[in-house]
Amino acid sequence: MDVWAEHNVPDYVSRGANTPNIALTKEQHNATKAVYRQWLFEKTGKKVGGKVDWKSVSPKEIHELTEKMFDAANVPRLARQEYYRAFNQYNFRE
């Protein structure tokens, strides 16, 4: 969601000190990359290096992709809920 938020959320700081994230093992990260690369291929015809117009990716689509990546990494439901809570709190801060 980081790259999507960078292009769609005003004042979002990509990989900032207070930006919400979930720590993954190398294996979990590899699992999420496989899901992302399949999505990228479906979107651009390339599994690596495809250019995405992030402004055209809807909140629903990025949420669905995020959930597929979380599923692939076996991220627990509670951790997902906490991530989304923190993500929304960060993005709607004043």
Would you place residue 94 in the very low, low, confident or very high pLDDT band (cuts 50, 70, 90)? low
pLDDT, tens digit, 9 for 90 and up, residues 27-81: 999 999 999 999 999 999 998 999 999 999 999 999 999 999 999 999 999 999 9
Check: CB of residue 64 under 8 Å from CB of residue 39.
no
For the segment 9-26, the average pLDDT, to the nearest whole number, is: 90
CA distance 71 to 19: 21
Look up the domain containing 68 and give its range. 1-93
Query: pTM of this prediction?
Result: 0.89
pLDDT, tens digit, 9 for 90 and up, residues 18-27: 888 999 999 9
Count of domains in the chain? Answer: 1
pLDDT above 90 (res 16): no
